[in-house]
Amino acid sequence: MKSVDPKTLRTWIEDGQELALLDAREDGEFGAEHLFWAVPCGMARREIRARALLPRLDTRICITDDGRGVAQSLAAWLETIGCTDVSVLEGGTKAWKAAGYVVFSGVNVPSKAFGEWVEHHYGTESVDAPELNEWIKSGKNMVVLDSRTQEEFNRMSIPTGISVPGGELVYRIGDLAPDPETLVVVNCAGRTRSIMGAESLRRAGIPNKVVALRNGTMGWDLAGLTCEHGKTDRFVPGTPKTADLAHQRASAFAAETGVRTITPAQLDAFEADTSRTLYVLDVRDPPEFRAGHRAGSINAPGGQLVQATDTWVGVRGARIVLICDTGARARMSAAWLRLMGHRDVFVADNALQGGTPRPAVPELSVPVTTIGVAELAAKLADTTVIDLGRSLDFRDGHIPGAIWGVRSRLPAPPAGKPVVLTSQDEQIARLAVPEIQALTGAPPKILAGGTAAWKAAGQPLEKNRLIPADEDCIDFYLRPYDRNAGVEEAMHAYLSWEIDLVHEIERDGTVRFGTGH
């Protein structure tokens, strides 16, 4: 197995060639300390995540960890699936620090740092929570638009707010605020998605005054104000009446940042080019994507793509092609990716048809023995259920008596009972069969349809925010709201972390935002 020292890896990061820098730890472990450009690819979901991040298996890959050897395990597995140029960072993050280089905490760090850079660069205006609260009470002519995902909005929201995820803002603002005198306030949970949403509207040149809610719902809570929970208010689906205007606005910003457009035929040629890594990302709202999409494309809703780019893009220097129905949403997202420093970003118009299907994950096609919801419910008292879904989902509701686990740290099932594995959609449970069989000596059964099927059947759920404990949630980097203790302190720490990122990237020296055009 090849290895690389920190100095050599530093030159790779800056040489402009394709590079996938993957961290083999689980997301929660990764978030504690990692290299700036590293992308989490934990062992627990490697079969799915690695294939999504590495559409071209012969690209240059470097694997890192905290020095305990999990990087070597991921590297060895990548070679078994056909990756041909895999190296491991000698000593992991510890060696990187010892060489005098900077490490970062948190997740989606390049995107978060970019959001802070945007505020500094463009002078994004903002309002603090108490003043916004006074505006709401006075009935001020304004709209409060929440730029997070619909799921996050449902959990908590600012009073009067409606869900308009960041990639939808420019596309739909003409319908949402037709009066140019209407003030537009954009919020998220913290800072950067508020900033990016507000600045997207400002870069698009809408006539309304636009401000970001300073520190988002965290700032709202810290000001002693109360968030609402369970709201479902969202934008009207479908093509907005002002779609043509949105296209004009987005096109101007895209042209300013050097976004190139290509034809469907050119996209076909990119897909056939095996010398370059290609990501074809559909930036539409998830329900639109589910209703029909280009074969081989991946849904990366625009606002979330810009603020969590490493969720979808694992190779620096790759080609990125964005698609949508009218072109407006793709152009806005592409413009921001260019400014983030991605060179080869394109918009393909009229490209929702055709495409090349993505290869299946072969491990998911291995035959397994399944058990239905009704049968499991009848045998539950005499069955050990291991839930391999997200720790936060387990807290919110799991099959009564189930044990939570993550594949890289599996619990030993008690002897004498048959084992049933579940996860939210069955996939991770299927992947864990060999590991559980190695522990028990017998193949476990898989709950058909996963925990989602159990819920859909109306079966009872147990909820407990304390299990797993915060320190055991290695699969997820806990946000302040997810913690069981010290929430206020965690909010202050998170907000300070975001603000400091713009200074930390100066110390790192490999980050050059605003150079995409």
* 485 within domain boundaries: no
Alpha helices in 204-295 (DSSP H): 216-222, 243-257, 264-272, 286-291
Nearest-angstrom CA–CA distance, 23 and 393 = 24
* 272 within domain boundaries: yes
* 60 within domain boundaries: yes
What Cα–Cα distance (Å) separates residue 128 from each residue in 304, 480, 496? 23, 19, 16
Inter-axis angle of helices 109-122 and 192-203, to 10 degrees?
50
Angle at 16 between CA 13 and CA 17, to 5 degrees: 90
Nearest-angstrom CA–CA distance, 125 and 363 = 49
Rounded to 5 degrees, φ, ψ at 53 are -80, -25
6 upstream amide cis, omega within 30 of 0: no
Q: Note whether 225 and 169 are same-domain residues.
A: yes
* 489 within domain boundaries: no
Nearest-angstrom CA–CA distance, 284 and 301 = 5
Report which of 451, 447, 453, 385 is spatially closest to residue 418, judged by C-alpha positions.
Answer: 385
Q: Note whether 88 and 208 are same-domain residues.
A: no
HEC assignment per residue over 133-195: HHHHHHCCCEEEEECCCHHHHHHCECCCCEECCHHHHHHHHHHHCCCCCCEEEEECCCCHHHH
pTM of the model: 0.95
Secondary structure letter of residue 410 according to DSSP: P
DSSP states of 426-478: SHHHHHTHHHHHHHHSSPPEEETTHHHHHHHTT---B--TTSS-GGG-TTS--
Residue 517 has what pLDDT? 37
Angle at 28 between CA 27 and CA 33, to 5 degrees: 95
Residue 416 has what pLDDT? 86
Residue 515 has what pLDDT? 56
* 123 within domain boundaries: yes
Do residues 176 and 164 make contact, with C-beta atoms less than 8 angstroms apart? yes
Return the number of other C-beta atoms located less than 10 Å from residue 382's C-beta: 9
Do residues 28 and 107 make contact, with C-beta atoms less than 8 angstroms apart? no
Nearest-angstrom CA–CA distance, 2 and 214 = 47
Q: Note whether 142 and 120 are same-domain residues.
A: yes
CATH code, domain with 147: 3.40.250.10
* 499 within domain boundaries: no
The tokens 């304390």 sit on which residue?
Answer: 466
Q: Note whether 329 and 371 are same-domain residues.
A: no
Single residue among 288, 321, 348 that ends a domain in this structure: 348
Nearest-angstrom CA–CA distance, 11 and 202 = 37
- What six digits make up the tokens of 163? 């869900």
CA atoms in the 13 A half-sphere facing the CB of 233: 16
Q: Note whether 171 and 62 are same-domain residues.
A: no
Single residue among 106, 122, 151 that ends a domain in this structure: 106
Q: Note whether 193 and 237 are same-domain residues.
A: yes
Q: Which domain holds residue 336?
A: 255-348
CA atoms in the 13 A half-sphere facing the CB of 398: 24
The tokens 């919020």 sit on which residue?
Answer: 187
Structural domain tally of the chain? 4
Nearest-angstrom CA–CA distance, 364 and 432 = 10
Single residue among 51, 85, 106 that ends a domain in this structure: 106
Residue 414 has what pLDDT? 86
Residue 274 has what pLDDT? 96
* 493 within domain boundaries: no
Q: Note whether 234 and 128 are same-domain residues.
A: yes
How would you write the pLDDT of the chain (517 residues) with one tens digit per residue? 899 999 999 999 999 999 999 999 999 999 999 999 999 999 999 999 999 999 999 999 999 999 999 999 999 999 999 999 999 999 999 999 999 999 999 999 999 999 999 999 999 999 999 999 999 999 999 999 999 999 999 999 999 999 999 999 999 999 999 999 999 999 999 999 999 999 999 999 999 999 999 999 999 999 999 999 999 999 999 999 999 999 999 999 999 999 999 999 999 999 999 999 999 999 999 999 999 999 999 999 999 999 999 999 999 999 999 999 999 999 999 999 999 999 999 999 999 999 999 999 999 999 999 999 999 999 999 999 999 999 999 999 999 999 999 998 888 888 889 999 999 999 999 999 999 999 999 999 999 999 999 999 999 999 999 999 999 999 999 999 999 999 999 999 999 999 999 999 999 999 999 954 3
